[in-house]
Amino acid sequence: MLWIKALHIVFIASWFAGLFYLPRIFVNLAMVSPGSVAERDRLLLMAHKLYRFMTLLAVPALALGVWLWMGYGIGRGPGQGWMHAKLAIVLLLMGYHHACGMMLRKFKDGTLQRSHVWFRWFNEIPVVLMLAAVILVVVKPF
């Protein structure tokens, strides 16, 4: 099970790298001047490749997490409320990942009209969620 845990951590860290960086590309896309077609196309290509790669990283991260959850029996019985809270965070992260994909499609279509400041704030969501998840797993406050 330690191998599974180690791989889970590696895939989670890799997935989070994408969750942190893709919205930074969105910040840059929101700042592209209307006449900079080449810059916009290059950023869209980078964003598309990163989204595809981070999706490939999320799948084993989530699968290994389920394996650990089932193998250790975590979340059953008293004193396991932290796991239920962590699973809620995982669902929020999956929703965030999906929202990034929808925003990327809207950027490609030219229909996303948000400011770079909005994307700077949007970029902070996975940081807060990761902080909460790590605290829940390490401290197990309830």
Domain containing 105: what range?
Answer: 2-139
pLDDT digits (tens, 9 = 90+) for 38-52: 999 999 999 999 999
Lowest mean pLDDT across 51-60, 65-74, 115-124: 65-74
Query: CA geometry: angle at 139 spanning 122 and 84, to 5°?
Result: 65
Residues in the chain: 142
The total number of structural domains in the chain stands at 1
Asked if residues 6 and 98 have their Cβ atoms less than 8 Å apart, the reply is: no
> Tens digit of pLDDT for each residue in 86-136?
999 999 999 999 999 999 999 999 999 899 999 999 999 999 999 999 999
pTM value? 0.93
